[in-house]
Amino acid sequence: MGFQNKVALMNGRAARLAAVSAFALLAACGGQGETERGEMGQGEMVQGAAGEAVSEAEASNPLLAPWTAPFGAPPFDDIDSGHFTPAFEAAMRVHRDEIAVIAANPHEPTFDNTIAALERSGGALARVQRTFSAYASSATNDDIRAIQREMAPRLAAHRSAIFLNEALFDRIDAVYRNLETLNLAAEQARVVERTHTAFVRAGAELDGDGRARLAAIIEELAGLYTAFSQNVQKDAESFMLVLETDADTAGLPDVALGAAAQAAAERGLAGKHVVTLARSSFEPFMTFSERRDLREKLFRAWTNRGDNGNAFDNKESIRRILDLRLERARLLGYDNFAQYRTANTMAATPQNARDLLDEVWAGALAKAEAEAEEIRAAMAADGAEHPLEPWDWWRYAEKSRAARYDFNEDEVKAYLSLDNVLKAQFAVANRLFGVTFEERFDIPVYHHDVRVWEMKDAGGAHIGLFYGDYFARQGKRSGAWMSALRVQHRLDGEVTPLIMNNCNYNKPAPGEPALITLREAEVVFHEFGHALHGLMSDVTYPSIAGTSVDYDFVEFPAQIYEHWMRAPQVIEEFALHHETGEPMPAALLEKVRAAANAKSGFDNVEFIASAFVDLALHRIEDRRVIAALDINQFEDDILDAAGKPDAIAMRHRSPHFLHAFAGELYAGGYYTYMWAGVLDNDGFAAFEEAGDIFDPALAAKLRDYVYAAGNSRPAMDAYIGFRGRAPETGPLLRNRGLDRGEKPES
Taking a C-beta distance cutoff of 8 angstroms, is the pair 412, 45 a contact? no
Per-residue pLDDT at 48 exceeds 60: no
Per-residue pLDDT at 9 exceeds 70: no
DSSP string, 479-518: S-EEEEEE--B-BTB-B--EEEEEEEEPPPPTTS--B--H
Mean pLDDT (whole number) for 657-676: 95
| Maximum separation of any 2 CA atoms in the chain, in Å | 83
Q: Which DSSP symbol is given to 706? A: I
- Percent helix / strand / coil, the chain, rounded to 5: 55, 5, 35
Which strands, in side-by-side order, build the sheet including 436-440? Answer: 436-440, 451-456, 462-471, 498-505, 481-486
What is the pLDDT at residue 740?
53
4 C-beta neighbours (distance < 10 Å), count: 16
- Cα distance between residue 27 and residue 483, in whole Å: 18
Following CA atoms 578, 582, 583, 588 in sequence, which dihedral angle do they give, to the nearest 10 degrees?
-90
- Cα distance between residue 679 and residue 654, in whole Å: 27
Mean pLDDT (whole number) for 59-83: 95
Of all residues in the chain, the percent with pLDDT exceeding 90 is: 88
- Cα distance between residue 480 and residue 75, in whole Å: 24
Which three-class secondary structure state does DSSP give residue 339? helix
Q: Which helix (H) or strand (E) holds 452?
A: strand 451-456
What is the pLDDT at residue 87?
97
Per-residue pLDDT at 634 exceeds 90: yes
Q: Which DSSP symbol is given to 55? A: P
Mean pLDDT (whole number) for 717-721: 97
- Cα distance between residue 630 and residue 624, in whole Å: 12
Task: Count CA within 13 A, CB hemisphere, residue 208.
Answer: 0
Give whole-number Cα distances, 494 to 35, 40, 329, 463, in Å: 19, 11, 39, 10
Per-residue pLDDT at 106 exceeds 70: yes
Question: Where are the chain's structural domains?
Answer: 20-234, 348-407+599-663
- Cα distance between residue 583 and residue 601, in whole Å: 30
What is the pLDDT at residue 34?
31
Per-residue pLDDT at 51 exceeds 70: no
- Fold of domain 20-234: Neurolysin; domain 3 (1.10.1370)
Q: What does the pLDDT look like over 547-587, one tens digit per residue?
A: 999 888 999 999 999 999 999 999 999 999 999 999 999 99
The residues near 40 (Cβ < 8 Å, ≥ 6 apart) are 46, 123, 124, 126, 127
Closest CA to 71 of 431, 559, 440: 440
389 catalytic residue (yes or no): no
| Higher local confidence (pLDDT), 13 or 660 | 660
Q: Which DSSP symbol is given to 707? A: I
Closest CA to 298 of 323, 318, 317, 278: 278
Rounded to two decimals, what is the model's pTM?
Answer: 0.90
Per-residue pLDDT at 712 exceeds 80: yes
What is the chain's mean pLDDT, rounded?
91
What is the pLDDT at residue 53?
55
Q: What does the pLDDT look like over 135-163, one tens digit per residue?
A: 999 999 999 999 999 999 999 999 999 99
What is the pLDDT at residue 198?
96
| Residues listed for the chain | 746
What is the pLDDT at residue 44?
43
Q: What does the pLDDT look like over 210-250, one tens digit per residue?
A: 999 999 999 999 999 999 999 999 999 999 999 999 999 99
- Cα distance between residue 137 and residue 133, in whole Å: 6
Q: What does the pLDDT look like over 255-267, one tens digit per residue?
A: 899 999 999 999 9
What is the pLDDT at residue 56?
73
453 φ/ψ angles, rounded to the nearest 5 degrees: -125, 145
Per-residue pLDDT at 536 exceeds 80: yes
Of all residues in the chain, the percent with pLDDT exceeding 70 is: 92
387 C-beta neighbours (distance < 10 Å), count: 10
Catalytic choice (359, 409, 527, 606): 527
Helix axes 254-266, 279-288, angle to 10 degrees: 140
3-state SS string for 86-148: HHHHHHHHHHHHHHHHHHCCCCCCCHHHHHHHHHHCCHHHHHHHHHHHHHHHHCCCHHHHHHH
Per-residue pLDDT at 420 exceeds 60: yes
Helix axes 166-177, 84-103, angle to 10 degrees: 50
Taking a C-beta distance cutoff of 8 angstroms, is the pair 94, 48 a contact? yes
Per-residue pLDDT at 438 exceeds 50: yes
- Cα distance between residue 114 and residue 107, in whole Å: 10
- Cα distance between residue 255 and residue 410, in whole Å: 8
Which three-class secondary structure state does DSSP give residue 605? helix
Per-residue pLDDT at 717 exceeds 50: yes
Closest CA to 535 of 439, 427, 462, 449: 462
Q: Is 533 exposed, middle or buried (0-12, 13-18, 19+ CB in 10 A)?
A: buried
Q: Which helix (H) or strand (E) holds 262?
A: helix 254-266
- Cα distance between residue 590 and residue 585, in whole Å: 9
Q: What does the pLDDT look like over 16-43, one tens digit per residue?
A: 222 222 232 233 333 333 323 233 333 3
What is the pLDDT at residue 408?
83
- Cα distance between residue 660 and residue 662, in whole Å: 6
